[in-house]
């Protein structure tokens, strides 16, 4: 999964046209900010346990927990929280004592196709759920286990946090990791609540309708007349090399109704400008295996006084 994630992130070109890059093109180096917020992905098929400050035991990933309707002012603080789970390993309990995290998620991920038996364990630190600006959210970041035996300890290896967000559609915020396999929250990086809501509205519309998809996509071959003058020779080359194929595969999946329930795994803001904001959406390809999902990479752009629209389509293997 680590190699797949690295490839996934390298497909996000920090500059140039907003079209998907052909897979034969050498990927560009990520900026320092993008490296610090690179998503740590837990496989959708992973077996996970969540150890919280307040829980008497580990909560399996498919178990329900009370909804947290906290606002920023009412979120639980480490000092007022109950002791960490007695079922957690000692190094997890120690981390919860000395960090601001409200819970640690421990996931066992099966090996890749080359070595299915080579399972790995991933650790995620997560904050309390809060409600603000029309979204429910909590921070998360990757942790790494150092040492062995009694000397084992958890450390952060990411400088930045992911902000897991979901629209606040009801008075209560949903608990993380409940309901659907992917859970109700989407990992976001450098994405405001306003941008998140607009992007989710865009994706909800295009995932449900091939006609809406055609209207919103793309700078290379989209149906909107205003998109055509922006099409460059480089964009046309990129489309011919791979972007068009990914676009039409995605469109066929939308038309077949497959994308309505497809998991939107993360939204990453990529380099642009104040007048031209750019994002990359990673959406699970429903035709890929659940244990090793592949992703559509959907590039979304926002120009000043213009709506959010899809500017390119790519894909990446799981």
- What pLDDT sits at residue 34? 40
Beta pairing class for 135-146 and 120-126 = antiparallel
**pLDDT tens-digit series, residues 12-56:** 433 333 433 333 322 233 333 443 333 344 545 568 888 988 654
Please tell me which residue, 314 or 59, carries the higher pLDDT value: 314
Hey, which residues does 278 pair with through a beta bridge? Answer: 270, 301
Is this model's pTM higher than 0.85 or not? Answer: no
Please tell me which residue, 175 or 111, carries the higher pLDDT value: 175
Helix, strand or coil, per DSSP, at residue 104: strand
- What pLDDT sits at residue 235? 43
Residues 6+ apart with CB under 8 A from 85: 51, 52, 55, 56, 57, 58, 92, 93
Sign of CA dihedral 45, 316, 306, 37: positive
Side-chain half-sphere CA neighbours of 106 within 13 A = 17
Record the tokens describing residue 164, joined without a space.
């897991």
> What residue ranges do the domains of the chain occupy?
2-37+191-316, 47-161
Nearest to 297 by CA among 16, 15, 22, 25: 22
Residue 229 clears pLDDT 50, i.e. is over it = no
Record the tokens describing residue 189, joined without a space.
């990086």
Q: Provide, rounded to the nearest whole percent, the portion of the chain with pLDDT above 90.
A: 47
- What pLDDT sits at residue 85? 59
Nearest to 202 by CA among 217, 187, 221: 217
**pLDDT tens-digit series, residues 104-118:** 999 887 766 566 566
Helix, strand or coil, per DSSP, at residue 205: helix
**pLDDT tens-digit series, residues 272-315:** 888 999 999 999 999 998 878 899 999 999 998 899 999 999 99
Please tell me which residue, 17 or 244, carries the higher pLDDT value: 244
> CA 235, CA 112: separation in Å to the nearest integer?
34
- What pLDDT sits at residue 285? 95
Residue 167 clears pLDDT 80, i.e. is over it = yes
Mean predicted confidence (pLDDT) in 69-92: 54
Average pLDDT, the chain: 74
The residue whose two tokens read 């995605």 is 250
- What pLDDT sits at residue 237? 45
> CA 57, CA 85: separation in Å to the nearest integer?
5
DSSP state string for 171-198: SSPPPTT-SSTT-S-EEEES--HHHHHH
> CA 169, CA 146: separation in Å to the nearest integer?
40
DSSP state string for 68-79: ----TTTPPPGG
Nearest to 214 by CA among 224, 201, 204, 229: 224
Residue 7 clears pLDDT 70, i.e. is over it = no
Please tell me which residue, 243 or 50, carries the higher pLDDT value: 50
Confidence label for 207 from pLDDT (cuts 50, 70 and 90): very high
Residue 152 clears pLDDT 90, i.e. is over it = yes
- What pLDDT sits at residue 60? 54
Residue 175 clears pLDDT 90, i.e. is over it = no
User: How many degrees, rounded to 5, is the angle at CA 301 between CA 297 and CA 302?
Assistant: 155
> CA 206, CA 215: separation in Å to the nearest integer?
9
């Amino acid at each position: 999964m680590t190699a797949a994630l690295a490839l996934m992130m390298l497909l996000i070109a920090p500059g140039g046209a907003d079209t998907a890059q052909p897979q034969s093109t050498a990927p560009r180096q990520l900026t320092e900010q993008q490296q610090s917020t690179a998503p740590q992905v837990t496989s959708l098929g992973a077996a996970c346990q969540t150890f919280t400050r307040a829980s008497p035991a580990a909560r399996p990933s498919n178990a329900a927990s009370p909804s947290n309707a906290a606002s920023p002012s009412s979120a639980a603080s480490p000092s007022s929280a109950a002791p960490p789970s007695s079922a957690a390993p000692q190094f997890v309990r120690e981390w919860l004592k000395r960090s601001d995290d409200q819970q640690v998620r421990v996931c066992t991920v099966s090996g890749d196709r080359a070595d299915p038996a080579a399972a790995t364990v991933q650790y995620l630190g997560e904050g309390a759920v809060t409600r603000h600006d029309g979204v429910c959210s909590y921070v998360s970041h990757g942790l790494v286990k150092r040492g062995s035996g009694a000397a084992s300890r958890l450390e952060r290896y990411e400088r930045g946090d992911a902000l897991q967000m979901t629209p606040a559609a009801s008075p209560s915020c949903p608990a993380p990791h409940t309901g659907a396999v992917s859970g109700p929250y989407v990992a976001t990086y450098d994405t405001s609540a306003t941008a998140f809501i607009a992007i989710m509205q865009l994706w909800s519309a295009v995932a449900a309708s091939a006609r809406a998809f055609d209207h919103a996509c793309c700078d290379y071959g989209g149906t909107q007349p205003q998109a055509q003058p922006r099409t460059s020779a480089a964009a046309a080359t990129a489309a011919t090399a791979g972007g068009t194929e990914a676009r039409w595969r995605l469109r066929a999946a939308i038309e077949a109704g497959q994308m309505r329930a497809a998991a939107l795994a993360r939204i990453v803001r990529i380099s642009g400008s104040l007048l031209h904001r750019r994002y990359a959406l990673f959406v699970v390809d429903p035709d890929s295996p659940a244990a090793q999902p592949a992703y559509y990479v959907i590039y979304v752009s926002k120009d000043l006084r213009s709506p959010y629209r899809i500017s390119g389509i790519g894909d990446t293997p799981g």
